[in-house]
Structure 1
Amino acid sequence: MAVMTIQESAATLRAATYRLSSTPHRELPRTAPQIAAHLWTCKELLSSTPDTAKQSSEVSVTVHRFKTLLATLLQDRTIEGRWSAVVLTKAAVEAGGVEVLSKSNGWVRSLLGILKKHDPPTTRSLAVITLTRIFMLTWDHSNLVREITTPALPAFLSACLTNAENKRCSASELQTILEAFAVLVPRHPTIFRNNETQIRALLTKIISTTPSNPLADSHYTQQQQLTSQRLLALLHHCTPKQGAANNWDETLKAAITAAHNICDRLFRSVVETQSSSAGVQHSATQNVLLQGEAELESDVAFGLRGWKGVYAGSERLESLIAQIRAHIETGTGGAVTVRLGLIVDLLARLFSVKAPRGKDSLMQANNQVSKEERDALFRLLPSIHVAAVRLTITLLDRFGGVIASIAHSLLADIVDTFDTERHDIYLRTATYSLLASVLEVEGPSFQKQDVADVERVIRSCCLDISSATDRSTTQSPAVSGPGDRASNDAISLGIQASRTRSSHPTAWADLHNAANDLLPVCLAKLDPASVSAKTRALTDRTAILTRHKNALVASVLNNPLKSASGRSAPSLLPLLAKQYPDAYESEALLRPRMPVIRTGRSRVEGVDDDESMADGFEEDEDNDYGQAIPGSGTDEVLPTDGGVDAPGSKEVAEVTEDLYSASPPRQPVGAQATVVETVTEKRRADAAPDFERSAKRMHTPPVAETLLSSAPVAAMPTATAIPEQPSSSFVTAPEPSQRAASSSQAPASEVTREQPSADMNAGSDLDENDLPPLTMDSSDEEDEEEEDEE
């Protein structure tokens, strides 16, 4: 079967080679993707060992022809040929694995040559991707790292940096280079160490450039800036002599210091009342900060370029906050010390500056700065606060419950900021995500006052969810049904869809997702007793109108015990079952099925197990009543009440004599009579019945009717119920009180009448384990009948 697979792969590879050689070079970009897809079907052939290829000379010739043709195309004179060769090289290396990778030195040199040529940016980008993939595949083989990666990586870095600094470098090529560096730096820090200075200069240039900065001479996309921030956080790996942790800490402190320096100039139009808890001092005197326009010629702390103007300063501040986030999110080579105090101090300063809210605003304006600059600052504050909230979310996601108290302390400032800037959809989105993260960690510990502080955010979340449902219903008026009712109910709550929402579809989608994630967390994590009735009604109503399954389930599982009026609060379980009848949650809540736990053998095989259980209850009764039957070999106990004498009395003695007298009389014959008589005498010789005997199963004997005891309920022995017990036939000995009542009515030798087993179980309040059964061997009766016939 394996030979057949290799033959099929050889045929496919021959077809791909023929198509590659027969197609004109200018038309190769059209066929290269199809040929690359066919190479994956040749995986068995390309990854075969040389011993397997030697078994068939035709197979080895086919593989050799393909590799030779691919090497020729990598050095082709046409741009189309080189582009196609790069695509096919990556496909061949991934399909062939180690066998192709070990012989790819020639391909690597050709790819490095393509990076140095004036090919289109797409060709160079594909070459960077292919070389990065080859380097990654060598990581599991140290010999290949020495043979391929170590010699080629320095030339690769030099070529990439040269192309990145060139003005002809496109945005996609620069993004590809940055991503490649971010992948390779942690695995090859010593090779990157020689180019660390050049790489850091490129990264600071990208981070410093913002759209509103008039000092910038180029433009970079937001994705490039995010990748540069992550790569800058990874450069600590290049520090020699195990100084990576110190370098990481110094870079983080420099970013925080640079952010404070920008705040000194950016917030000069207001009077800051927040005092630094980390001892951070202003970077300049007040007179210097108030001179001229808000600007910074150069950022000495972090090595960034200067900025000028409030808009450029706000963008630089957001960039530095994102840099701090990148340091927290990006993994490190070893253990590092995170200075949470410095980060929290910066966040507290950022949240302390808020836009004025009517006449009761606590922000005091600085009259030495123009009103226009102050208004511009208030306009830019929401975006700065969004970056700060995202940094808080990153801290909480990274450290979890360790910093729950810190996040809880910042939550009050964030809620106050939310009240003044809730018009910004990005701030609402970030606040919803932060509140969900905080509630996941410490929601059950929220007190009533804590819940009251965040109820404004919860109500806003409900309104955003309902308005999103109303907007989707308005956009599709042809659809009718429950969605229309939800829309009408949402409008009745005073929710009106914004006319400008269609201009930001992505932002509104993120807002809706964040609100949908927050609603079930609020219902599940917060104590219902701490939530006001109005807020709880709004959350339940929103869950119903928007058909939010997770919120409905959370409301059912965390339903308040009583409403404000003192009555039991209604549950949303009927609505959940109606709207989602097929959901697993509805099935589990409506029909919970506990698995059957089998604790022993089946009833057919282990009838004695029930008797052993009865023995355990007999011992318990002995401990409870403390009265044993005298004269017996074992300490058997009988229940007592006020009308029964103490042990040793005459009535108890009669029980030991006539306990088995209710059994049907037998008529033994011959030798069988001797055996039966011996057994009967032995039983009567006992002072008390043996409660530890097990009942023997009978074929078809009669069942005696059990008489109800006339003793008080308190004196009755504890009954052990065993469900679904199979029918058995035996005669139950009466209790002492039963004997006293029955002795005056009928003789002890009277045969009890027969009844079905079902009647006994239904009409008796006693259990089979209350009194020991008397055994009757059906085989003895059959032997007696045979002797009578003889």
Structure 2
Amino acid sequence: MAPQATSISLLRAASFRISNASKAELPQVAALTAQSLLSCKDIFTSPDLANQKDSDAAIALHRFNTQLTSLLGDRHVEGRWAAVVLIKAAIEAGGWETLKKSIGWVRGLLILLKKPDPPLLRCLTIVTLTRIFMLTWEFPTLIREITTPSLPTFVSTCLNNLTARPSTPQELKATLECFAQLLPRHPTIFRQHQDAVAKLLTTTFENKASGDQIMDLASRVSVLLHQCEPKNGASDKWDATLIATLHSAHSMADRTFMSIEEDWQSVTGTNFINKNILSDLYSKAQNARTPADGPVGQFITPGYQGLMNHLRLLTAYFASATSASVVGSVGAVTDLLTRLMSNTISTSSTKSTIRFKRDAVREERDALTEILPQIHVACIEVLSIILDRYGNAITPALQPFLDQIMWIFHASSANVEVRTATYIVGKKILDLNGQSLNKEAIGGLKKYIVACCEDLLPTIEEKDPSNSNGNKQQSTMNADTFLKQGTTKPSAKTELAGLKSAAWDLLPTLLGQLPAEHCPIALRATMDRTAVLSRHKNAVMASTLNHTSTAKAARKGNSLLPLLAREYPTDPQVEVLLRPRMPILQTGRKATEAEAEADAMDEDDESASDDEEEQEQVEFEKVVAETSRVAESSHSGNSNDTAHKEQNLVNWALKEYVQEGLGQTNTNAAGSGGATKGSEDAAEAALGQVAAGADPTEVNINKRQREEDEGRMADKRQKSIEPQAAAADDSDDDEFVVPEIVMGDSDDEDE
């Protein structure tokens, strides 16, 4: 595919800007041009440009590459700066086609790295070379041609720049980051520089001015050095360095806690050997005249710094991946964490577990009070990394871990960093074993849960103290309070993003993982209230799914499902929760045919009922006509009085028949048919008797007897039908009854 004309125009414009920019404008022009190079990707990645030397795209690309090469060797720093930025952008846009031709740029960058340029330019050069080496990992040919010959020079140059001249934190950070990226993929090349790298790391750890990011990077590189061991010695080296780090951490703890009577007993055989050795030095330090030579300067401060460095190393050991399988000594690490977290100092004397020696001075007490929360936070971070690495495999140790976290929280909950760390690691522990906690264990988390809810609730305005009549209280107060206009004032509560984020993540776990039947109702109500007031959808959802099953709570109706449905009506998760088993609605041609068949059946039933009514009416008219003919033919010779009586009797019979036939209801259709038939028979019998010359009085008596007999027979039939109908109703009820969903135990069980 030929390059587009737009890409050619953009590349020409970039070359024009570079060639016409002044030296002072080159950094700004380079930044603008680097953004537009990605739009010229089809030119950089085209494999046919080498055979099309006379094409516009090939000419534009050749001109641009020539400009970069010339800028890389420019005398001015601005030109070299622009070259480094544009080379990185061009290689990332061109991919393999540009990368295979970059060996000349790599050599120029290595030469540039040795020059005494500004530290920030060296940082950009380190980043560009590291990016080129990383892009060659997918192509073994390019690794042999570019990375293998160039990487040793790159590593040695970086180490020389950090040791030969004063380095800045930015350059040290960039160097450590590139070592952390390249060392796992090229351990053989780093093997010859292993001692120099270890020396650099030692210097970094000893530098008190190093920031947390630099210390974390140094810890990571220190852990990765075990991969430089030959053959299969990486795993053994990892285990040996971990054990050495633990012993060194205990030594630092001995120095830090020299003024404390520790009750800790090791489960791995570690003893207080260093404390016995350091006792004489500690006695001399107590008699020192200057603070630098005292216990704080000689024991607590250096011990604290060394202990923090070793805890960072432990974090890196479990956070970094290894090239081979290793065996982590989790028991030894837990033993160290137990020792460090068992010493707590609280504002309440009843919660403090630390016991100072009699000869400990006030400065030592104050120093330990200051550093212990930081040590506890570092221990919690190590524990958090262990949980991330092992997960469910470390389930048997989760309950002791939770007890230690609660121990630290109750002692140092006033410290924001401690509270944030306990929220983070507490969430991880409860996600793994929260469902297995009993009522007593949940009761021990009450203060922890309440503190989490308080950190999430919005700030409450506090009212100024005033009497019932509205006058200010006459007590000792600041005079500035009289200048306030309102009667309320905002609370001095500080909004901490990290603390609130940790509490925000913890609340759904508390509502969803803790067994609802073991959670006190008041505590559960506090969590539900916090979830609603803070508009925490995940927490409300967790409360709805993990609803309390006790009968007492169920009677109060404290489910948050109505609030969830009202607050988030369009959320898919809420929709699934509200309608979990909605049947599939059939639409289309099949549904139309089914409806048509049902309508046709209804129409057939209606037409059949109409035909039956018309047939009955026709039969009735035939009977009346035939009866009239019989009566006229049979009594034509009688007297007029007899004919008049007969006609009256016929009219009476017809009237009775019509009234009985039309008085029947639709609900007794079957009985109506029988009654109609009986009325027809009665009318025919009465007409026959009259025709035979019977007395009308006897005819009435006989008719009344037949009606009574028919009534008794109808009662018998109704009595025989009622049990069958009741049984049918019972069977229908049993078939279609909806089972009642009981939330929780019954009242009898609750009592």
TM-score, normalised to structure 1, is: 0.69
Q: Tell me if structure 1 keeps the 8 A contact 2:345–2:351.
A: no
Which digits, 9 at most, give the CA deviation of each residue in 1:46-78, with x for residues without a partner? 111135751743332222221112111101111
Q: Tell me if structure 2 keeps the 8 A contact 1:556–1:573.
A: yes
State how far apart, in whole Å, the 2-side matches of 1:333 and 1:294 are: 48
Residue 300 of structure 2 corresponds to: 310
SS of residue in 2 equivalent to 1:567 = helix
Residue 385 of structure 1 corresponds to: 376
Which amino acid is the alignment partner of residue 421 of structure 2?
A
Shift of the alpha carbon at 1:581? 3.9
Residues 188-267 of structure 1 correspond to what in structure 2 (within 5 A)? 188-210=186-208, 219-267=209-257
Residue 135 of structure 1 corresponds to: 133
Residues 414-429 of structure 1 correspond to what in structure 2 (within 5 A)? 414-429=405-420
State how far apart, in whole Å, the 1-side matches of 2:354 and 2:572 are: 52
Q: Are 2:458 and 1:455 equivalent residues in the alignment?
A: no
Q: Tell me if structure 2 keeps the 8 A contact 1:182–1:231.
A: yes
Shift of the alpha carbon at 1:363? 3.5
Residues 713-724 of structure 1 correspond to what in structure 2 (within 5 A)? none
Residue 31 of structure 1 corresponds to: 29
Q: Tell me if structure 1 keeps the 8 A contact 2:460–2:491.
A: yes
Q: Tell me if structure 2 keeps the 8 A contact 1:353–1:363.
A: yes
Residues 1:595 and 1:294: Cα distance change in structure 2 (over 3 Å): farther
Give the number of the structure whose residues are more often helix, by fraction: 2
Q: Tell me if structure 1 keeps the 8 A contact 2:373–2:415.
A: yes
Shift of the alpha carbon at 1:742? 11
1:567 to 551, 555, 580: 555
Shift of the alpha carbon at 1:193? 0.5
Shift of the alpha carbon at 1:442? 1.2
Residues 502-521 of structure 1 correspond to what in structure 2 (within 5 A)? 508-521=496-509
Q: Are 2:319 and 1:329 equivalent residues in the alignment?
A: yes
Which amino acid is the alignment partner of residue 312 of structure 1?
P
State how far apart, in whole Å, the 2-side matches of 1:137 and 1:591 are: 51
Shift of the alpha carbon at 1:203? 1.1
Q: Are 2:9 and 1:19 equivalent residues in the alignment?
A: no
SS of residue in 2 equivalent to 1:25 = coil
2:515 to 519, 527, 531: 527
State how far apart, in whole Å, the 1-side matches of 2:134 and 2:546 are: 50
Shift of the alpha carbon at 1:700? 6.6
Q: Tell me if structure 2 keeps the 8 A contact 1:562–1:569.
A: no
Gaps of 5+ in 2: 286-295, 463-488, 610-667, 678-724, 733-751
Residues 1:444 and 1:315: Cα distance change in structure 2 (over 3 Å): same
Residue 432 of structure 1 corresponds to: 423
2:156 to 147, 158, 178: 158
Which amino acid is the alignment partner of residue 124 of structure 2?
L
State how far apart, in whole Å, the 2-side matches of 1:604 and 1:43 are: 57
1:344 to 334, 341, 357: 334
Which digits, 9 at most, give the CA deviation of each residue in 1:187-208, with x for residues without a partner? 1110010001100111122123
Q: Tell me if structure 1 keeps the 8 A contact 2:405–2:426.
A: no
Shift of the alpha carbon at 1:243? 1.1
Q: Tell me if structure 2 keeps the 8 A contact 1:186–1:237.
A: yes
Residues 1:561 and 1:65: Cα distance change in structure 2 (over 3 Å): same
State how far apart, in whole Å, the 2-side matches of 1:119 and 1:570 are: 69
Residues 1:287 and 1:374: Cα distance change in structure 2 (over 3 Å): farther
State how far apart, in whole Å, the 2-side matches of 1:497 and 1:698 are: 75
Q: Tell me if structure 2 keeps the 8 A contact 1:252–1:324.
A: yes
Which digits, 9 at most, give the CA deviation of each residue in 1:459-481, with x for residues without a partner? 11111112x54499xxxxxxxxx
Q: Tell me if structure 2 keeps the 8 A contact 1:412–1:453.
A: no
State how far apart, in whole Å, the 1-side matches of 2:29 and 2:433 are: 58
SS of residue in 2 equivalent to 1:29 = helix
Residues 580-659 of structure 1 correspond to what in structure 2 (within 5 A)? 580-592=568-580, 594-596=582-584, 602=590
Which amino acid is the alignment partner of residue 535 of structure 1?
L
State how far apart, in whole Å, the 1-side matches of 2:552 and 2:429 are: 28
Residues 1:135 and 1:464: Cα distance change in structure 2 (over 3 Å): same
Q: Are 2:349 and 1:358 equivalent residues in the alignment?
A: yes
Q: Tell me if structure 1 keeps the 8 A contact 2:18–2:26.
A: yes
Which amino acid is the alignment partner of residue 555 of structure 1?
S
2:276 to 281, 286, 290: 286
Residues 1:741 and 1:411: Cα distance change in structure 2 (over 3 Å): same
Shift of the alpha carbon at 1:699? 11
Residues 1:471 and 1:464: Cα distance change in structure 2 (over 3 Å): farther
Residues 1:45 and 1:391: Cα distance change in structure 2 (over 3 Å): same
Shift of the alpha carbon at 1:766? 8.9
Shift of the alpha carbon at 1:698? 7.8
Q: Mark the structure with the bigger radius of gyration.
A: 2
Gaps of 5+ in 1: 211-218, 296-305, 473-494, 611-694, 706-737, 748-762, 771-790
SS of residue in 2 equivalent to 1:537 = helix
Residues 1:570 and 1:273: Cα distance change in structure 2 (over 3 Å): same
Residues 1:55 and 1:527: Cα distance change in structure 2 (over 3 Å): same
How many percent of aligned residue pairs carry the same amino acid?
Answer: 39
Which amino acid is the alignment partner of residue 29 of structure 1?
P
Provide the aligned length of Structure 1 versus Structure 2: 589
Residues 1:569 and 1:82: Cα distance change in structure 2 (over 3 Å): same
Residue 124 of structure 2 corresponds to: 126
Residue 6 of structure 1 corresponds to: 4
Q: Tell me if structure 2 keeps the 8 A contact 1:268–1:369.
A: no
Residues 1:9 and 1:547: Cα distance change in structure 2 (over 3 Å): closer
1:549 to 537, 545, 567: 537
Residue 648 of structure 1 corresponds to: none
State how far apart, in whole Å, the 1-side matches of 2:369 and 2:585 are: 66
RMSD: 3.6
Residues 1:766 and 1:260: Cα distance change in structure 2 (over 3 Å): same
Which amino acid is the alignment partner of residue 262 of structure 1?
M
SS of residue in 1 equivalent to 2:157 = helix
Q: Are 2:94 and 1:104 equivalent residues in the alignment?
A: no
Instruction: Compare 430-439 and 399-408 and name the one that shifted more.
Output: 399-408
Q: Tell me if structure 2 keeps the 8 A contact 1:290–1:368.
A: no
State how far apart, in whole Å, the 2-side matches of 1:153 and 1:590 are: 61
State how far apart, in whole Å, the 2-side matches of 1:407 and 1:125 are: 44
State how far apart, in whole Å, the 1-side matches of 2:594 and 2:41 are: 61
Which digits, 9 at most, give the CA deviation of each residue in 1:346-375, with x for residues without a partner? 111112111154256443332243343133
Residues 1:287 and 1:233: Cα distance change in structure 2 (over 3 Å): closer
1:397 to 380, 388, 392: 388
Residue 41 of structure 1 corresponds to: 39
State how far apart, in whole Å, the 1-side matches of 2:9 and 2:204 are: 50
Residues 1:382 and 1:605: Cα distance change in structure 2 (over 3 Å): same
Q: Tell me if structure 1 keeps the 8 A contact 2:49–2:57.
A: no
Shift of the alpha carbon at 1:561? 2.9
Q: Tell me if structure 2 keeps the 8 A contact 1:429–1:514.
A: yes
Shift of the alpha carbon at 1:598? 7.6
Residues 1:51 and 1:378: Cα distance change in structure 2 (over 3 Å): closer
Residue 176 of structure 1 corresponds to: 174
Which digits, 9 at most, give the CA deviation of each residue in 1:152-187, with x for residues without a partner? 111101110111224432111111111111110011
Q: Tell me if structure 2 keeps the 8 A contact 1:328–1:395.
A: yes
SS of residue in 1 equivalent to 2:370 = helix
SS of residue in 1 equivalent to 2:344 = coil
